[in-house]
Structure 1
Amino acid sequence: MKAWLCENPIGPEALEWKDLPTPEPKAGEVRIAIKAASLNFPDLLIVQNKYQAKPTPPFVPGSEYAGVIEAVGEGVTNFKVGDAVAAFGGGGGFGTHVVAKTSLLMPLPKGFAFDDAAAFLCTYGTTWHALMDRGALKPGETVLVLGAAGGVGTAAIQIAKAAGAKVIAAASSDEKCALCKELGADATINYAKSNIRDEIKALTDGKGPDIVYDPVGGDLAEPVFRSIGWRGRYLVIGFAQGTIPAIPLNLTLLKGASIVGVFWGEFARREPKNHVQALADLAAWYAQGKIKPVIDTRLPMTGLKDAFTRMGSRQVRGKLVLVNE
């Protein structure tokens, strides 16, 4: 097999495309021939040694992928050779083959495209857990999505609309805002050109959004929280801007509002039954055409470094996907 090996986690430039022994699955594991893998922001942090989970080098990065099972380990009865699956977690996705625990796998229904599946679990799993579980989104509520043209942002627009919400999508360019409108956003804010607080006030008749979905962090967080509605829920997804904001806690008191942490990976580990049900609901929505990953670019698996460079340009709309031909 071939894979991108990280022997020195100083950044994508240190990754090498290498021949490696094809692994054999152990008890409770399967070997997957990878058809597609997608890039997530934590993948960059991991190869820079900046993520909270730090794998021991050498390792193969790539946390989200889809493919076909070609071997099963001892005791595996719920999957068989030939099954199409997607997986998130454990690493190893940026290559031609990977061994994964069956607990990480999502069986793919017939008709679920591999490139869509490789861009599905993390973004849609995170967003379902955020909006539907942690945010308790109700039909008719208003959701403000920051970083709305990115992977989780585009998922948030689709899930919020499918749940009957009004969506205000905030992004950093007119082109990104246009994409958000195509995905169903009711209104958009280009926060590179306008005052986001003024725009929020105008678009909500001064009431503010019921939910803020924030994968960006940084200097937008406090002004947006100051604009949140009464009993609002501010969902902390991540910090793509790089800076972890410090929001004055007196604002939660004045707004009767909540700051809600969203850690989908830990949710999946601690609440496996709820996690499995969420994935089943999402797969049904995909089959019904209500949600579909937005794929910015498809590259060959050998183009991982180019994908990281594109991610760093902040011009990505949706997800970057790497495919094995």
Structure 2
Amino acid sequence: MPSESMYKVVIHKAGAYERLKLETHRVPKPGDRQVLIRTQAVGVNYADVCVRWGVYASARRFVGWPITPGFEYSGWVEEVGREVKHVKPGDPVFGVTLFNGYSTHVCAPADLVWPKPQALDFEGAAGFLAVHLTAYHGLLQNVVIRPGMRVLVHSAGGGVGSALIQLCKLHNLHVTGVVGRSHKVEYVRQLGADAVVDKSTQSLWDEAKRLCPDGYDLVFDANGPETLAQSYAHLRPTGKLLIYGFHTLLPKQSGRINYLKAALGMLRMPRFNPLSMTSGNKGVVAFNLSFLFARTDLLHAAVSDLTTWVEAGIMQAPKVRSFALADVAEAHRALESGETTGKLVLRTAPPFFSASVYEATVRRASAPDR
């Protein structure tokens, strides 16, 4: 019998960690083409942090305040609409949702829900789709690839970077990963990277040039103004710069944006001139997965391939670090630190919180760094 109430994280106003409120709400009733899922785990992505700050474009356009972050989940089907045939109550599933993921229950469009791969446990499945769909769309739906192409991947130890490294090697590309912390080097090598640049101990662009003197065919960059200009400069003729985020545009302190530094970052944002791009024979591609949810044809093609590869054991899910749903503030703090590798997820199956633990967590996460 479906539950009557659920817990979800709600943000009523932009801000720091204290804006993440755990609330009780009624469980929604699925429509004819919807599926109600009792979640077991939900993925945490950098986009969720941007939602909390109030700077995520699709959140402003599609939802506004209040909002529940979260784009991906795994769990059990609890109820289906009358037109849903591919899953039934009791089935283990995973899927994507346009927000509302940080919850014990998700009511999702049926065409964005898929059977969970047997090769993934619930936590692994919850952290799989957002990063792998982003990587797949960038590499396999935006550009034409050929074996032997040279690829540079920034933030290679993160979720999307981990997926990109594996997809590149699966398609016989030569890939160099860039990391910002030395403890991430071995992790990226184990994923299959041909070379790793540790920019905490090496000159990033000197090393990138040494490794590939003629320039890269593809550069994947979610950093923003810190690296975009040089990423473009290090493309070879016919090369493509693929942009899917602007992390360094949003420097923060104790969970808050430093708006002065953000404004200075905007001034440093490179402007790509179509005339110079034409004469240099280079291109720029930019995309955001949250604006792609209407293209179910692309999503289904990607999920079909990704599921096949993970079931066959030729692609692995990122390593996962999990937090209780009540510890969502700690999860955001960890993600913002830049120290993590792989994916972070929130456990939503009970028992997942107590009120006292939740309040203590928010106080700890909101405390100034010492």
Into which bin does the TM-score normalised by the smaller protein fall? over 0.9
Q: Does 1:230 align with 2:237?
A: yes
Q: State how far apart, in whole Å, the 1-side matches of 2:218 and 2:205 are.
A: 15
Task: Return the match for 2:281 from 234, 253, 256.
Answer: 256
Q: How big is the shift at 1:88? A: 1.5
Q: State how far apart, in whole Å, the 2-side matches of 1:315 and 1:62 are.
A: 21
2:39 aligns with 34
1:276 aligns with 300
Q: Determine helix, strand or coil for the equivalent of 1:188.
A: strand
Matches within 5 A, 1:37-52: 37-52=42-57
Q: State how far apart, in whole Å, the 1-side matches of 2:148 and 2:38 are.
A: 43
Q: Does 1:180 align with 2:205?
A: no
Q: State how far apart, in whole Å, the 2-side matches of 1:110 and 1:199 are.
A: 41
Deviations 1:117-145 (A, max 9, x none): 11111111111111112122221111100
Contact 2:244 2:286 in 1 (8 A): yes
Q: How big is the shift at 1:226? A: 1.0
Q: Does 1:212 align with 2:219?
A: yes
Q: How big is the shift at 1:308? A: 0.5
RMSD: 1.8
1:63 aligns with 71
Identical aligned residues as a percent: 28
Q: Determine helix, strand or coil for the equivalent of 1:136.
A: coil
1:115 aligns with 123
Matches within 5 A, 1:1-325: 1-53=6-58, 54=60, 55-204=63-212, 206-242=213-249, 243=265, 245-249=269-273, 252-270=277-295, 272-325=296-349
Q: How big is the shift at 1:251? A: 5.1
The worse-fitting range, judged by mean Cα deviation, of 74-83 and 220-229 is: 74-83
Q: State how far apart, in whole Å, the 2-side matches of 1:279 and 1:58 are.
A: 30
Deviations 1:160-190 (A, max 9, x none): 1111111100111221222111111110112
Deviations 1:264-299 (A, max 9, x none): 3434423x2232122101111111222222234111
- Using the size of structure 1 for normalisation, the TM-score is 0.93
Contact 2:38 2:104 in 1 (8 A): yes
Name the count of aligned residue pairs: 323
Q: State how far apart, in whole Å, the 2-side matches of 1:276 and 1:189 are.
A: 34
2:353 aligns with none
The worse-fitting range, judged by mean Cα deviation, of 80-89 and 242-251 is: 242-251
Q: Determine helix, strand or coil for the equivalent of 1:140.
A: coil
Specify whether residues 152 and 82 from structure 1 end up closer, same or farther in structure 2 by C-alpha distance, changes over 3 A only.
same
Contact 2:74 2:126 in 1 (8 A): yes
Contact 2:20 2:328 in 1 (8 A): no
Q: State how far apart, in whole Å, the 1-side matches of 2:19 and 2:204 are.
A: 39
Q: State how far apart, in whole Å, the 2-side matches of 1:169 and 1:111 are.
A: 26
Q: Mind listing any 5+ residue stretches in structure 1 that lack a counterpart?
A: none
2:255 aligns with none
Q: State how far apart, in whole Å, the 1-side matches of 2:27 and 2:247 are.
A: 34
Q: Determine helix, strand or coil for the equivalent of 2:248.
A: coil
Q: Mind listing any 5+ residue stretches in structure 2 that lack a counterpart?
A: 1-5, 250-264, 350-370
Specify whether residues 247 and 185 from structure 1 end up closer, same or farther in structure 2 by C-alpha distance, changes over 3 A only.
farther
- Using the size of structure 2 for normalisation, the TM-score is 0.82
Q: Which amino acid aligns with 2:307?
A: A
Q: Which amino acid aligns with 1:222?
A: A
